Amino acid sequence: MDLRIQEVAIRLSQPVRAAWGEIAERRMLLVELEDDDGMVGYGEAAPLEPYDGVSLERCREALESCRRTLRGVTNGSGATALERCRTVTDLPHALAAVDLALWDRASRREQRSVASMLTEEPANWVPVNATIGAQDPADAAESAREAADAGFETVKVKVGLDDDEERVRAVREAIGPDVALRLDANGAWSTGEALTAIAALSPYGVELVEEPVHGITDLRLIRDRLPVRVAMDETADEPGAIASGAADVVVLKIGRSGGIGGLLARAALARSTRADVLLASTWDGPLGVAAAVHAAAALKLRDASGLATLTLFEPAALDAVGIGDVSLGDLATRLIAKDGTISVPRGAGLV
């Protein structure tokens, strides 16, 4: 097997601000995995160092190790190839890139969708939320109004900054009473700050608070003391966190799960604790978003997931990057939300 690695940088239409910082572009690694018979699969590795602590350079080194160990594999199964990679790296983002390429290749070989290979009757569409960054209140309100007008039934607002209440109030006024409102603090608060902030923001009709604090113990405390659903996101990577039952909802991501197979295993563990499951993108590229959409279809998720993020990129920046014989812009257009849902790709390949 031949693994080829390409680094790309894709600009966002405007900087995205959250409690962990601000980004103006996404750097990621695109991979092509070619079998000895010429069949090619495509994947991506999209770590976000300010968020998950994984640098692109570290991910490239891990993928280079995978490339070397896969060089001598001929006529091997996808499981064999992935296991070979696990012997040289445990970095989930790198393993996810290989996993996605293997699923993409298998789907092309079988000429059926990835979702249909994961389960017999996958969902045809996936409900998604709109995400509002930590913008000033007026801009946040305008973005939220546009989302509601576009048919989104759930809006998530980034919080954890000084002007949270003004932003949340403005968003609620913009979307009206019928659109669900979620908050995402990215663990910015201490326990005391979270209790105070959530109590102050709850009157605006909050459906869910994502990662108000970091850590199993503190998440459980918040959940038990306030009448609001609590989701774990970053905390889900801590040993034993998903199985702890410390949150009502577990947010899973393709990169941090090591790919589709790892995500589905995590989802099963979360559901065994009676927690709900949501999927989300860390401003991934089209291949990462597509993989998450197929996984969400296989899981038949009913609550809105955070996968409607491709419109945050500059269209020209996506069009300028190609993989295979198509541009990322072409792939992204197939994954744009309409009326708050993304249609699950039905053809061969991830997208």
Catalytic center residues: 158, 253
Q: Which residues contact 97 (CB under 8 A, 6 or more apart)?
A: 29, 31, 43, 44, 45, 59, 63, 259
Query: Distances from the Cα of 257 to the Cαs of 92, 97, 99, 262, in angstroms?
Result: 6, 11, 11, 5
Per-residue HEC secondary structure of 259-293 comes to CHHHHHHHHHHHHHCCCEEEEECCCCCHHHHHHHH
CA–CA distance, 124 with 150 (Å, rounded to integer): 20
Q: Please, where are the H alpha helices in 74-226?
A: 78-86, 92-110, 114-118, 137-149, 164-175, 191-201, 216-225
139's tokens: 């801009």
Rg of the Cα atoms in the chain: 20
Query: Distances from the Cα of 222 to the Cαs of 216, 217, 253, 278, in angstroms?
Result: 10, 9, 23, 19
CA–CA distance, 334 with 329 (Å, rounded to integer): 9
17's tokens: 């601000």
* N residues, the chain: 351
